[in-house]
Amino acid sequence: MSRPTPWLVLLLGGASGVGKTHVSYRLARHYGAGLTEVDDFQIVLEHMTTPEQQPVLHLWRTRPEETRRMTEEQHVAFSLEYARVMATALEPVIANHIETRTRIVLEGDFILPSLAVRPRYRDVEAGARVQAVFLYEDDEAQIRRNYLEREGEEQLLRARVSWLVGDWLRREATRLGVPAVAARPWGTVLERVIAAVDSR
């Protein structure tokens, strides 16, 4: 059932493999809002740009050997830079939803806490109409298990990087006053995310 909210755009962020997608569908249904996965923007942007125009967006595909040589710290830095590029693409989308007063949940790995606390998007005042909540996983081993269950193979480095990115997002969200919610216990995560959003 749709219910009134002060926000028009709700950003659901967090690192890969923590369960955001599963939460996002139920969250959007709870609020009667539309839902868009940021992954869809990644696909469009990669298709509509060249490596020369957006080298960060194309690095995984065009220079896989370079990404394989990255250290954990370089992977984290690259993930955050990718998120900064995505913020540029998400800004006009957020502005449009504020202007048209249509509620939406935007969910994805590459959402930064700083995107949620801007005073305006393009020339559109934010007010209290943009909110965010970040999901995080305390246990790196759980992320490994999530990947194994979802994709059928062990991904140790990917899980490590995801945990490091998630830890950075959690700390940055806390610093900026944006709620961060633990993914477990899984049975209560939706209720806890809703409580975090409604308390704003």
**25 domain-assigned:** yes
**3 domain-assigned:** no
What 3-state DSSP class applies to 191?
Answer: helix
Confidence class for position 103, pLDDT limits 50, 70, 90? very high
Confidence class for position 164, pLDDT limits 50, 70, 90? very high
pLDDT score recorded for residue 167: 98
- Write out the residue range of the structural domain in which residue 94 sits: 9-198
**156 domain-assigned:** yes
Confidence class for position 3, pLDDT limits 50, 70, 90? low
Indicate the pairing of strand 120-121 with strand 9-13. unpaired
pLDDT score recorded for residue 2: 53
**188 domain-assigned:** yes
**148 domain-assigned:** yes
pLDDT score recorded for residue 182: 98
Confidence class for position 200, pLDDT limits 50, 70, 90? confident
**137 domain-assigned:** yes
CATH number of domain containing 134: 3.40.50.300
How far apart CA 41 and CA 186 sit, in angstroms, is 28
- Residue 180 in this model has a pLDDT that exceeds 70: yes
**31 domain-assigned:** yes
**167 domain-assigned:** yes
Residue type, 24: S
Cα torsion through 47, 52, 56, 62, rounded to 10: 70
- What confidence tens digit (pLDDT) does each residue in 7-63 have? 999 999 999 999 999 999 999 999 999 999 999 999 999 999 999 999 999 999 999
- What confidence tens digit (pLDDT) does each residue in 64-84 have? 999 999 999 999 999 999 999
- Total domain count, the chain: 1
Structure tokens at 24: 């996002």
